Amino acid sequence: MMHMHKRVGNSTLELIEGDITELDADAIVNAANSSLKMGGGVAGAILRKGGYEIQEECDRIGYCPVGDAIITTGGRLKAKYVIHAVGPKWGEGDEDEKLKNATLNSLKLADERGLRSIAFPAISTGIFGFPMDRCAKIMLSATISYLQGNTQLERVVFCLFGKDAFETFRKTLEELLP
Ligand code: AR6
């Protein structure tokens, strides 16, 4: 498993290659859709491991606009919470801004709940078709500027699925924080 970390403000920004459902963090982020129906990809893996109570809580909430995030239980996961962030579908318009907002709103939600650690997947880069290098730039820049402000978050992790995704994030992070 590959791993790297950088200090940003008082926090640690980490990159890990692996399965996000295995991570020990206060919250893991789901790559969700607006109707909060957990399908394949990260969502499917979270549902299988965390249990159906996560979907039931999503159903009670019902809806989340693109670029925003909501929080539910983590069910049987190691993570206590799942933050469901709705990224854009590639081609729908205003994708960069929406992905940036989905990232920032997840970080804010974690802070508002007093959480200390959060782990993200590469939102929108699977079924939603967003290019990986562009996602890395947007999610990492948004996170770096957030961590340079006022936050109680000690640890923000990006959990990348596969060596190529990890390498793309590693190179982008080296460019942003040499
Ligand atoms: N751990 C970490 N990353 C993963 C994992 C995992 N276990 N599984 C996949 N990835 P996706 P999206 C990577 O499709 O594009 C669902 O149906 C994957 O390789 O999960 O935002 C939802 O319900 C890719 O790089 O999310 C929505 O309808 C990244 O995670 C829709 O898909 C995101 O892939 C959301 O699509």
Tell me if 47 CB under 6 Å of ligand 1.
Answer: no
Per-residue pLDDT tens over the stretch 23-78? 999 999 999 999 999 999 999 999 999 999 999 999 999 999 999 999 999 999 99
Report the nearest-CA residue for atom 8 of ligand 1: 42
Q: How many Å lie between the centroid of ligand 1 and the Cα of residue 136? A: 14
Per-residue pLDDT tens over the stretch 131-156? 999 999 999 999 999 999 999 999 99
- Confirm if 69 and 84 have CB atoms less than 8 A apart: yes
Map out the domains of the chain with their CATH numbers. Answer: 3-176 (3.40.220.10)
- Confirm if 89 and 10 have CB atoms less than 8 A apart: no
Tell me if 172 CB under 6 Å of ligand 1.
Answer: no
Asked if pLDDT for residue 167 goes beyond 80, the answer is yes
Q: How many Å lie between the centroid of ligand 1 and the Cα of residue 41? A: 4
Among 38, 36, 33, CA closest to 51: 38
